[in-house]
Amino acid sequence: MIPVLQKKEFYVYTEKVNPVVFKKLLDSNATERQLHSYIMQHPWILYWTLCPASGHSRFVLPSFPLGTRYKTDFVILNSYSGAYEVHFVELEPSSDQSFTKAGRPSQRLASAIKQIDDWRSFFESNQHDVRSTLVRWAKRKDVLGYHPKCEPFNYWGQYLHEPDTPLRDRYLIIIGRSSTQSPDTRNLVGRFGNGHSVQIMSYDRLLLLAERRYGHRKK
């Protein structure tokens, strides 16, 4: 049964994003902690970058745990007709490079890829635990505010806790600035990510989204 949200239960959320402030933060070579804090306060930047078609129910969960050994920087949980998708996000500093001049993954990127491999292995082996934790955190830890205190659902009447409901996992590493990369490196980022089942993205992708979506609003 699809939940019926009464009018009084709706949360009036706002997407207060100032792309000028975000750009200044990136230009200051912000630390991973500073970037995590900013995105946690402005989660729609991350949501719309990864989920441009939106979804039936939408959640952004910071510092989401995978068991007791692993912790993600963010999880985006999104539902649509017939399935759910969950994006596991790892943040690296905006000042770091993704590849060396020799075209090899930087130490920071290689470490992030190893971490993603551990997350993927845990997800594949612990589906029930991941689903249960996602449902619990969606109700209590969500920072997006689109469906507060609501169990994830879609309009096909499928709930996330049901084991037969499709759950598609995606993995993302955000690192560096594309504005400091050569065209060859930018091409390498796309090829390498596709070959390793992980999306590698620079912070300029988030900045571009912020500028296009929010740049026309009053600062």
The answer to the question of residue 5 being in a domain is: no
Percent of the chain with pLDDT over 90: 62
| Structure token pair of residue 166 | 């499709």
The answer to the question of residue 140 being in a domain is: yes
Q: Helix, strand, coil shares of the chain as percentages rounded to 5?
A: 40, 20, 40
The answer to the question of residue 7 being in a domain is: no
Structural domains of the chain, count: 1
Report the range out of 2-16, 46-60, 154-168 with the highest average pLDDT.
46-60
For position 50, which CATH number holds? 3.40.91
The answer to the question of residue 127 being in a domain is: yes
Mean pLDDT, rounded, of the chain: 87
**CA 5, CA 19: separation in Å to the nearest integer?**
33
| Structure token pair of residue 146 | 């689109």
- Domain coverage including residue 35: 16-214
In tens, the pLDDT along 53-111 reads 888 889 999 999 999 999 999 999 999 888 899 999 999 999 998 988 888 899 999 99
The answer to the question of residue 10 being in a domain is: no
Looking at residue 8, what is its pLDDT?
34
Q: Are 126 and 208 in contact (CB under 8 A)?
A: no
Q: Is the dihedral of CA 175, 176, 178, 182 positive or negative?
A: negative
Looking at residue 89, what is its pLDDT?
98
